[in-house]
Amino acid sequence: MRLIIDRIEDGWAVCYTDDDDAIRLDIPLRYLPADVQAGDHLVVTFRIDREETEREKRRVEELLRELTGDHPPERKKFKL
């Protein structure tokens, strides 16, 4: 995906995709190179972090076990 920085406002880069100016992404400047400016084109890629996804899944499952005890899944009742 490619983005074009339209403008910079209050610490945010206001960006639009290069193929559809109806899609807007506002990105905090702290995540971008220090010298970005309006008119710059950015190349953006996404990837799935499978290890982190699994780690978080295990963490949530453990938390659920702590909250529900050893009850069968269909009987998991707890108060928040």
pLDDT tens digits, residue range 5-15? 999 999 999 99
Domain membership of residue 79 (yes or no) is: no
Please identify which residue in the block is written with the tokens 């269909």: 74
- State the average pLDDT for the chain: 90
Domain membership of residue 54 (yes or no) is: yes
Domain membership of residue 28 (yes or no) is: yes
Domain membership of residue 22 (yes or no) is: yes
The number of distinct structural domains making up the chain is 1
Q: Is pLDDT above 60 for 80?
A: no
69: confidence class by pLDDT, cuts 50, 70, 90: confident
One-character DSSP codes across the chain: -EEEEEEEETTEEEEEETTEEEEEEEEEGGGS-TT--TT-EEE------HHHHHHHHHHHHHHHHHHHTT--GGG-----
Q: Tell me which residue range forms the domain holding 65.
A: 2-74
Rounded to two decimals, the pTM is 0.69
